[in-house]
A and B are shown apart, each in its own frame.
Chain A
Amino acid sequence: MIRLDKSEHSFLPGDVLVCEYEIRLPAEMLADAVESSVIWTTGGKGEEDIGVHFFERRSKSTLDADQLRRTHRISTVLPRSPLSYVGVIVQIRWSVRLRVFVGNQQFTDDLHFQLGNAIAASDLSPCDE
């Protein structure tokens, strides 16, 4: 489970993003590693690009069942770019991604948030032609 400190999930460049996450696994499963990251990804017609703004990995040696069940917190200062954007054939989306490695399996959870107030392409003023 991932929680952000802002309920509306909207941030401005330069804001400090504070995120808490908890991992609940069945007793018989042990996590080998946990990766938490703040990323932007592109969507739309083009191939997906990904940019990593923040990354943290906790390996097996630093994790035990008790530590895993605790609430973990990450914080990072958000950059000035790229802003979240809804375009016609290009979209940019920010998210906090949590990836847990258990044996050969990976469990991923994303929590999306808005960075900046860029206007969607469809909302720009009509062409002045």
Chain B
Amino acid sequence: MKKLALLLALLMIMGTVLAACNAGTATTTSDGTASDGTTTVKDSLNLCINAPLTTIDPHYSQSNECDYVLYNVYEGLYHQNELTGEYEPRIAESYTVDDSGNYTFKLREGVKFHNGDPVTAQDVVFSLKRCFDSPSYGGYAAGIADVVAIDESTVQVVVKAKNAAMMNNLCYLMIISEKVVTEQGAAFGTQVALAGTGPYYFTSLDGDVEWTLQAFPDYYRGEASIKTVNYRCITDMSAALIAFESGELDWIRNIPDINWADIEANEDFNKEMIPANKVIYAACNPLGENLGDVKVRMAVAYAINKQEIIDGVLEGNGVPADFIIPPTMNAGAPDTGLVYNYDPEKSKQLLAEAGYADGIYCGSILAIADTIYEKIATIMQQQLAAVGITMDIERLEYAAAIDKLMALDFDIGMTGFLVTGDYNYLRNYMFPPAFDASGTTTFAEFSAMFDAADQELDPVARKEMNTEVNNELMEMAGFLPLFYTEANFAWAKDLEVVNYPTFPQIYEWHWNS
């Protein structure tokens, strides 16, 4: 017994010693109070993202969460303001477009990388070409045939064909230092690197836990007001909300809808909810069970009560979607045309015309487990059953669900995506076999329409052409938009922020002190 007690005591001491070895130093909270009680100037910020920062290579970023951080460290030639849609100059100060649709950019003088080197045309050539093979940004660079340095401060982007979305695409192709990337080689992205031109640079990096950004003193638009940004990775949103409410974080987004009412009622911090550039939709697969008939797919469309889904899943915090791409936030996106409103009687009528007056079994609704897609699927299953369409629900974890969606091995798939400012983004979700099986159009025909619209540089004419594209898509009844989400934010009382739907611009924030 004594031996056991001694052993337990030794283990306790060992555990305490191990814990003490992990003890950190005193930290400074963003309100200026150090954990050891002293007061400092309020110039730092504590934030979190909901996924690990797996890489700081902006060309191989693996999630939007990573981009929330990286877009404060790296910049493109231009930046698209999410609220106004305007293109704001960054590394480039101006551009021209020739008759062939090629873009020539004049680089701004005085722009430096974080290591102090000036940005040259060669860096731009290197950066844009590097994106060609990137799974993350290869789609944005797909329309570029070549990038040429005309001189030290002039770059030409040669396009494969005229492309109205090119400026939008270029905004997401970040310019990085060829020298730093070459020096770091395969390690670039995994360690601190002074390769960006943005208002902040990394000073420490432990991508699974925490990292710190420091304001770049030589930033060409002036040093940021907030000097230090401390990030944590908090994957669980409930835990993140508790951290925010207890003062460990200064700003938070993606607050669960179930908690939003409490946040709204709390006077201790600021809050805001704005439209997000994200659409949730049901992909109705013409290759799915009994869904080859367009009348059955249209019956599905008319059977869906979007507001009921929004109320049930998002506590009412969403906007019913008539179009697959939010029209108010994306260039070239149509805002008129064929729309499916909730009409269960019409749904039943279409089923009867298709020969299924007594009902039909249409396989499964595929949803990613433990996400809102699963909840949407549950409500939709009931709505479809009410008109005579019987469906099961198939829940799969993320990778397995995406695998089936990409292979078109589903009947109805619940999914969604974040749009990045242009109707052209829809191209990432086109699946030729689905079009060819639709009975309403072929992929070749649809592509030709879409390509023609993309090559129209006049915004008004392009929008009209995209309206036709959208009508073609809706007649196919393969993409059934359900709702646009809303982005919510809460932040400390004395922090001034400008909230954008997707990518926060910390440069524009400051403390009122």
Answer yes or no: do A and B interact. no
A interface list, Cβ under 8 A from B: none
